[in-house]
């Protein structure tokens, strides 16, 4: 077992979840903007971009939800272990925290790419 600062781990989990909530709100609004842009007459290649972006928003919103839930479950597990094991965590729980951080960083990179792609689409359609 590992002695760990629970406030740091819980704080990281809270930060990750808050950032994912912000992305969820942003991409939900972006989906609406995309639908509005699709309502205008667009060339065929732009319609393909619309379809691609709709799919990406859908997929990434699911990914955001799934990762948020995994982080929430993990945070509860951390708190439970800290209480039941006198402030110590199992090695597997610490490894899971690191794995979730890697997943978070990877998803955040993907979301930033999607954000840039959508911004470029909006610039091309105006």
Residue 106's Cβ-side half-sphere holds a number of Cα atoms within 13 Å equal to: 8
Taking residue 114's Cβ as centre, other Cβ atoms within 10 Å add up to: 19
Q: Write out the H or E segment, with its range, that includes residue 88.
A: strand 88-89
What local confidence, expressed as pLDDT, does residue 96 receive? Answer: 96
Q: How many residues does the chain have?
A: 126
* CA 41 distance to own-chain centroid: 32
What pLDDT, on the 0 to 100 scale, is given for residue 18?
Answer: 98
CA angle, 27 then 29 then 30, to 5°:
60
Q: Strand, coil or helix: what is 124?
A: helix
Q: Which stretches in the chain have pLDDT values below 50? A: none
Q: What residues contact residue 49 under an 8 Å CB cut-off, 6+ apart?
A: 121
């Amino acid at each position: 077992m590992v002695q760990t600062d629970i406030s740091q781990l819980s704080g990281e989990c809270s930060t990750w979840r808050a950032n994912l909530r912000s992305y969820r709100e942003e991409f939900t609004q972006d989906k609406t903007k995309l639908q509005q842009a699709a309502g205008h007459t667009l060339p065929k290649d732009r319609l393909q971009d619309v379809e691609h972006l709709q799919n990406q928003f859908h997929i990434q919103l699911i990914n955001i939800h799934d990762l948020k839930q995994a982080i929430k479950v993990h945070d509860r597990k951390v708190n439970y272990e800290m209480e039941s094991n006198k402030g110590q965590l199992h090695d597997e729980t610490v490894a899971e925290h690191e794995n979730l951080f890697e997943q978070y960083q990877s998803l955040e990179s993907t979301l930033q790419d999607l954000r840039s792609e959508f911004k470029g689409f909006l610039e091309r359609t105006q």
